[in-house]
Amino acid sequence: MKIRGKICCAVLAAALFSGTAIPCNAAAKAVGTGKYIALTFDDGPNTTTTNDVLDLLEKYDAKASFFLIGDNITEDSAKSVKRAFDMGCEICNHSKTHSNMGSMAADRIKEEIAYVDEWVEQITGQKTTFFRPPFIDVSQSMYDAIDLPFICGIDCQDYMENVTAEERADYILNGAKDGTIVLLHDAAGNSKTVEALKIAMPKLKAEGYEFVTLSELFRLQGETPKDYLLYTYVTKYPCTDYVLKENLFKGEVTGTQSDAVWQTAVQLDLQTIADLGESWAIEIRCTGMYSPVINLQKWSGEAIWRSVEPSYYNGETACFLASDVQAALDELGVQLTDLDRIGIAPYSGSLTMTQADLLEKAEIIIDDPISGDVNGDRTLGLADAVALAKYLCCDENADVRIWENGDLDGNGRLNAADLTLLKRMLFQ
């Protein structure tokens, strides 16, 4: 599929917006173009390990997010919290008592959160911004009672005494990719994690990673945290430069992984996607606490059943890239056309799917732009004004493929002024 127009692919992927106020429900956000990683620390605060971690953050010009246990906050340890906050770090909630909260009554859950919030507000003037469940024990009652986004992160096993500093560093480095949340512990006496950071941080910095807080990570990745997800990664939307190849499903289907409805909901022609090489993607519109997965299935000869997780999931949209599917096929030692079926199903729990599309990576052809033609159809029309209006209101259905054509006031971004100028062009 080809899109004509003068496009800078890097800018297209970044999808830069203006902060100009516009009459809509959501403000457009600028997406960062770098590689970002969020270091997070549980089980503080204290006057020893917490400060050792802060010393390293200062050395490497880094920020992090600290998940506090309320019972560990004292007048002395509060000084470490204030130091972290003044350094630009984020202060988050890990409950008062670090108890399993999944079966707690709602009032008790709220008390656990409120205790930490009251301490943090007294120290910093702000309440906590994110919550990590103790023992990663979650339940619907917790999601209902806690008005904070839930955070998990990659497990570096740094709570286990027999795991060396070098092994902890390897967990950090091997799990690092753009958007990774790293789960660590600054509990008093956890010196091996401090040593692991001394190994991992300079290597990550040399690889181009920027250490950011959780709020910065969501903002820079162009995402708004949902209140019903448990986050380990916050990735950028990967299909900016893809276009629709074929609709695979439209309607509504709800069920768990074992429900038979998923056997027929999405029909994929294996030869069609094989012919696309690695230029295809599958995008699923869905809602659920857990993401969908692609199941690679082969029941003739040697049976295969392999699940591939999406490259991107934000609670509403999941994207599967051909490269991820190919990596699984390479590991299995089979070709795409050796399979009997590629199926879509929930990873866990219940999922509601409303749409599934096969996308194709667009081939960009340099050509003279048409001013105002943001949807890339080589004409200027009302559809461009509608698309631009939706885009500025953060509507995921906005068909803005060539944003540069909409930069009518020439300030390098899209804003309400561009929409006004576009309307004048159409109706003058």
pTM of the model: 0.78
Q: Are 225 and 286 in contact (CB under 8 A)?
A: no
Long-range contacts of 255-263 (CB under 8 A, 24+ apart): 255/346, 255/350, 255/351, 256/346, 256/349, 256/350, 256/351, 257/345, 257/346, 257/347, 257/348, 262/343, 262/344, 262/345, 262/346, 263/343
pLDDT tens for 298-333 read 998 899 999 999 999 999 999 999 999 999 999 999
What is the per-residue pLDDT for 374?
82
pLDDT tens for 79-122 read 999 999 999 999 999 999 999 999 999 999 999 999 999 999 99
In order of 18, 227, 382, the CA distances from 427 in angstroms are: 25, 42, 10
Residue ranges of the chain whose pLDDT lies below 70: 1-30, 364-367, 396-397, 428
Q: Letter for the amino acid at 45?
A: P
Structural domains in the chain?
Answer: 2-20+364-427 (1.10.1330.10), 35-231 (3.20.20.370), 242-361 (2.60.120.1070)
What is the per-residue pLDDT for 132?
98
CA–CA gap between residue 296 and residue 306 (Å, rounded): 5
